[in-house]
Amino acid sequence: TVAVMALSTLSSRLIRIHVREFIFTFVMLTDVMFITTADKELENVIKIGTLAYRNDWKEVKNLASRHMTDRYCIFYWHLCNAREGRLPDELLKGRWGLSSRGLYLTTGKGDPCFSMMYFTDALMEIGDVSQATDCALLAQTVVPGHYSTRMLRRLAEIGVVTGDYAVASKYLNILARTRNHREWADNLLKCIETDSIPDQYLIWRSRTVPQDHFFAQGDIRSSLDIIAQESPYNKVAIDYQLCSYLLDKDIKSFVESYERYYLGKLDQIVNVPDIYQEALLTTVNSDESLRETVEKYHISQEVLTKFLHLMEVRARSENPNVLTEEAAGTYWNYIMAVSLTNRNLK
């Protein structure tokens, strides 16, 4: 009798899971059919998130590059470049306005569930599993039916990355009872049992901080600071930090962070991106400071030559259009564009 009751209870739970899967799939399909004619922008939002969910990063970047006015596409454009180690190199091609908003997604009250779900993709790459957990749990509360297998998968992955296999197994066992995620969950459970964790999770693990820290939800800069301090060779997190300052034109904070996390550390093992060197040269105000800056930060001859040429053009012409054309593709061009925009606003 007990066995029959237990079997009956299990069966009812499985039925509820499959019904929820069916309803969610039906809603998603009907929504996509509707927005195909009603809202192409929302269609792209759903499509790019789905491609990322499937780890089809080549197509994610391809789609993002074709819709660089959409904040989610810009967000994934930056994330794809960060995964390739090219976030600073491609930074100015993916601007959301004149600020760092395109690098991150907001996850506060009133923000759509897409923001919370998609932002976990960047947080995992950065190594911020604490905020990734918060976003995944929060997304669970706002999606239709308060149930998202995508976020259950994320929570399972976080458990694997942090080494909390009990938590990971809990979510994997739930997913193993679903039709669409059974194979994935079973494979990851076997990896845990045989201690053969996939490389991607080991990479994420190497970027995480060893202990929890407390800061306000959504305070990504404080989080990045902590990660950079405790994981000084986490280039992804440090690049996100430095690039956010560059997009916000906060040169003072950029230089402070560069000296703290890059100078004498990362610059010893990787080539310093041109955009960082260009930003460092914006602090020059005399011939003496130029020599000191070039020497201290090891400015390359190519970047220095471009900078000196731009100074010559500036000395010869007061026409702002000439300056911006000469500085095309550089951080100096971005700084001047901001200056001109602010002047026009006044």
Q: How deeply is 234 buried, as exposed, middle or buried, from its count of CB atoms within 10 A (0-12, 13-18, 19+)?
A: buried
Q: Which of 32-41, 164-173, 256-265 is least confident? A: 32-41
What is the mean predicted confidence (pLDDT) over 162-184? 96
Rounded Cα gap, residues 120 and 93, in angstroms: 23
pLDDT higher at 333 or 277? 277
CA distances from 255 to 82, 180, 278, 296 (A): 21, 48, 12, 12
Rounded Cα gap, residues 251 and 261, in angstroms: 15
What is the mean predicted confidence (pLDDT) over 253-260? 96
Rounded Cα gap, residues 266 and 174, in angstroms: 42
For the whole model, what pTM was predicted? 0.84
Q: pLDDT band at 344, cuts 50/70/90?
A: very low
What's residue 217's pLDDT? 62
Dihedral (Cα; 191, 126, 122, 96), 10-degree rounding: -170
CB 171 within 8 A of CB 192: no
What's residue 107's pLDDT? 85
Query: Percent helix, strand, coil in the chain (nearest 5)?
Result: 75, 0, 25
pLDDT digits (tens, 9 = 90+) for 50-66: 999 999 999 999 999 99
pLDDT digits (tens, 9 = 90+) for 271-327: 999 999 999 999 998 899 999 999 999 999 999 999 999 888 888 877 767 777 788
Report whether pLDDT(13) > 80: no
What is the mean predicted confidence (pLDDT) over 126-149? 89
What is the mean predicted confidence (pLDDT) over 164-171? 96
Helix (H, G, I), strand (E, B) or coil at 318: coil
For 269-291, give the DSSP string.
TSPPPHHHHHHHHTT--SHHHHH
CB 64 within 8 A of CB 57: no
What's residue 112's pLDDT? 87
Q: Which of 21-30, 34-43, 204-213, 326-335 is least confident? A: 21-30
Rounded Cα gap, residues 224 and 7, in angstroms: 48
pLDDT above 70 as % of the chain = 82
Q: Is 137 left (phi over 0), alpha (psi -120 to 50) or beta?
A: alpha
Rounded Cα gap, residues 203 and 327, in angstroms: 37
Q: pLDDT band at 337, cuts 50/70/90?
A: low
Nearest CA among 216, 220, 269, 209 for reference residue 245: 220
Q: C-alpha angle with apex 284: 313 to 221, nearest 5 degrees?
A: 115
What is the mean predicted confidence (pLDDT) over 188-203? 96
What is the mean predicted confidence (pLDDT) over 142-153? 88
Average pLDDT value over all residues in the chain: 84
pLDDT digits (tens, 9 = 90+) for 207-234: 998 766 655 666 788 889 999 998 999 9
pLDDT higher at 327 or 48? 48
What's residue 302's pLDDT? 96
What's residue 37's pLDDT? 43
DSSP state of 176: T
pLDDT higher at 249 or 111? 249
Helix (H, G, I), strand (E, B) or coil at 213: coil
pLDDT higher at 41 or 35? 41
Rounded Cα gap, residues 247 and 331, in angstroms: 9
Helix (H, G, I), strand (E, B) or coil at 319: coil
